[in-house]
């Protein structure tokens, strides 16, 4: 039988569980999320529902996600109810797709995040900036995987561009099993890694290569526009034969940012360093005079696309913060209205008791 320690169970988690003082409950790790139910390893696999009280007292982002340590109450053979989600060491967020201003948690308790891009038509380094920001916000250093090296026509030119980013990366060909050992070397001990990226870049093929077995369904991309078919539909965590874990995830159409504008500095250190030379401390690098960032763009020292991304990210995050603030103001108003109603009701009851 597989030990829970293989999933990363440690003294800290044990202490958190003991501190809850729950009887008849056991700790486990969420290994798959099927939407209507979860699979939790304890270490046997249990199909679990979320308890009504946990559902009631939690915001959506606090509900159990793949990677979470949870405490479950077994109720039936291989059936159980998740009672508590233990504190997370990390979580990967994004803004939910569409117009709502909600946080979606993609995976939790992650040590390494691999952002996968294919070296064929999918290749677009600009897209990686979003992942960099989002992962750094979670204090997770991204490692980029450039897959489908066998399909790249101008590999040397692409390598040159990748090298210029100055970030950790691995070149792979999942179908030829090349570069897989380099990924494995990073997921040692009981580390948890996740594969993120667009549909069709080869996340499930890489998962299978890491597992040395065909676990995850894969499907050919559409040749017309080189886009994937969203083959993987749920997140799932797998134990690797040599130790450590990998989470395969469904393809992301567009990673919409979730977080705070302050964290932008870490992802745009080149711009922040240049900004030290701007005439105004609060220079927005849009049209101010004596702006060192705009000057760098004009002289070719900074790519205009890089500054465009910076402005776009900042706008996105500020719009989100504004929406969150107005929502919380709305909630405050609603709460005040509810309180007023309770007070009025109390006063009416007082009047009534005075009369009777
Ligand atoms: N030539 C080549 N094809 C690859 C490689 N890796 C994956 N593929 C193919 O790319 C297609 C998509 O691979 P998947 O592993 O299903 O992609 P995915 O990222 O899991 O896609 P979603 O589950 O939709 O997010 C499949 O036809 C794979 O065989 C590779 O290294 N080289
Ligand atoms: Mg897949
Ligand atoms: Zn400036």
Predicted TM-score (pTM) of the model is 0.88
Ligand 1 atom at minimal distance to the Cα of residue 172: 31
**What fold is seen in the domain 260-356?**
Ribonucleotide Reductase Protein R1; domain 1 (1.10.40)
Compare 12 and 356 and report the one with higher pLDDT. 12
CA dist 196 and 113 (Å) reads 7
CA dist 294 and 285 (Å) reads 6
pLDDT at 211: 96
Supply angle C-alpha 319, 320, 321, rounded to 5.
95
| pLDDT tens readout for residues 131-156 | 998 998 899 989 999 999 999 989 99
In the predicted model, what is the mean pLDDT of residues 244-260?
92
3-state secondary structure 245-302: EEEECCCCCCCCCCCCHHHHHHHCHHHHHHHCCCCCCCCCCCCCCCCHHHHHHHCCCC
Q: How far is CA 339 from CA 309, 332, 346, 351, in A?
A: 44, 10, 10, 18
210 CA from centroid of ligand 1 (Å): 14
CATH architecture of the region 4-85: Beta Barrel (2.40)
Question: Ligand 1, from 155, 228, 249: best to mutate by most atoms within 8 Å of Cβ?
Answer: 228
pLDDT above 50 (res 181): yes
pLDDT at 264: 84
Quick one: pLDDT band at residue 351, thresholds 50, 70, 90? low
**What fold is seen in the domain 91-248?**
Rossmann fold (3.40.50)
104 CA from centroid of ligand 1 (Å): 25
| pLDDT tens readout for residues 184-240 | 999 988 999 999 999 999 999 999 999 998 888 998 888 777 778 889 999 999 999
pLDDT at 347: 61
Tell the residue nearest (CA) to atom 7 of ligand 1.
Answer: 202
Q: How many CB atoms lie within 10 A of CB 87?
A: 11
| pLDDT tens readout for residues 294-344 | 999 999 999 999 999 999 999 988 888 887 777 666 666 766 676 666 566
Q: Which of 239, 234, 217 has its CA nearest to residue 29?
A: 239
Render 195-227 in DSSP notation, one character per residue: EEESTTSSHHHHHHHHHTS--S---PPBTTTTB
pLDDT above 80 (res 175): yes
Q: Which of 30, 167, 128 has its CA nearest to residue 88?
A: 30
Q: How far is CA 326 from CA 3, 133, 330, in A?
A: 48, 25, 6
5 secondary structure, DSSP code: G
CA dist 84 and 166 (Å) reads 41
Extract the tokens encoding 355: 């009369």
pLDDT at 271: 94
What Rg do the C-alpha atoms of the chain give, in angstroms?
Answer: 24
| pLDDT tens readout for residues 48-91 | 999 999 999 999 999 999 999 999 998 877 789 999 999 999 99
Q: How many CB atoms lie within 10 A of CB 201?
A: 27
118 CA from centroid of ligand 1 (Å): 9
pLDDT at 342: 59
| pLDDT tens readout for residues 284-293 | 999 999 999 9
6 CA from centroid of ligand 2 (Å): 24
Q: Is the peptide bond before 239 cis (omega within 30 degrees of 0)?
A: no
CA dist 250 and 255 (Å) reads 12
In the predicted model, what is the mean pLDDT of residues 255-273?
87
In the predicted model, what is the mean pLDDT of residues 247-257?
92
Q: Which of 102, 101, 105, 100 has its CA nearest to residue 85?
A: 105
300 CA from centroid of ligand 3 (Å): 15
Q: 327: part of which helix (H) or strand (E)?
A: helix 304-355
Quick one: pLDDT band at residue 123, thresholds 50, 70, 90? confident
- Which residues' Cβ are closer than 6 Å to ligand 1? 147-148, 150-151, 173-175, 199-205, 218-221, 228-232, 250-251
Q: Do 136 and 267 meet the contact criterion of CB atoms below 8 Å apart?
A: yes
Residue ranges per structural domain of the chain: 4-85, 91-248, 260-356
> In this structure, what are the phi and psi dihedrals at residue 318, rounded to the nearest 5 degrees?
-70, -40
Q: Do 170 and 146 meet the contact criterion of CB atoms below 8 Å apart?
A: yes
Q: Which of 102-106, 167-171, 218-222, 326-330 has the highest mean pLDDT?
A: 167-171
pLDDT at 355: 47
């Amino acid at each position: 039988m597989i030990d829970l320690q293989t999933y990363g169970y440690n003294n800290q988690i044990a202490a958190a569980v003991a501190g809850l003082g729950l009887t008849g409950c056991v700790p486990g790790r969420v290994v798959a999320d099927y939407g209507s139910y979860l699979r939790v390893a304890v270490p046997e696999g249990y199909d679990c529902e979320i308890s009504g009280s946990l559902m009631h007292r939690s915001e959506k982002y606090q509900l159990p996600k793949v990677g979470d340590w949870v405490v479950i109450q077994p109720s039936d053979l291989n059936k159980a109810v998740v009672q508590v989600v233990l504190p997370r060491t990390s979580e990967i967020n994004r803004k939910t797709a569409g117009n709502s201003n909600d946080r979606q948690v993609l995976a939790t308790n992650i040590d390494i995040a691999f952002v996968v891009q294919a070296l064929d038509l999918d290749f677009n380094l600009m897209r990686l900036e979003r992942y960099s920001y989002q992962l750094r916000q979670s204090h997770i250093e991204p490692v980029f995987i450039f897959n489908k090296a066998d399909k790249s026509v101008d590999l040397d030119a692409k390598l040159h561009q990748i090298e210029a980013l100055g970030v950790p990366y691995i070149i792979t060909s999942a179908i030829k099993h090349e570069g897989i050992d380099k990924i494995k070397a990073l997921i040692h001990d009981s580390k948890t890694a996740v594969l993120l990226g667009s549909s069709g870049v080869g996340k499930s093929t890489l998962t299978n290569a890491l597992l040395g077995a065909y676990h995850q369904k894969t499907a050919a991309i559409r040749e017309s526009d080189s886009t994937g078919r969203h083959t993987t539909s749920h997140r799932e965590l797998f134990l690797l034969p040599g130790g450590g874990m990998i989470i395969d995830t469904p393809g992301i159409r567009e990673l919409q940012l979730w977080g705070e504008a302050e964290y932008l500095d870490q992802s745009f250190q080149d711009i922040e360093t240049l900004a030290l030379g701007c005439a105004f401390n609060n220079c927005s690098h849009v049209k101010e005079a004596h702006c060192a960032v705009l000057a760098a763009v004009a002289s070719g020292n900074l790519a205009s696309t890089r500054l465009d991304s910076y402005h776009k990210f900042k706008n996105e995050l500020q719009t989100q913060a504004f929406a969150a603030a107005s929502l919380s103001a709305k909630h405050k108003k609603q709460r005040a209205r509810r309180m007023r109603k309770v007070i009025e009701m109390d006063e009416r009851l007082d009047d009534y008791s005075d009369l009777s």
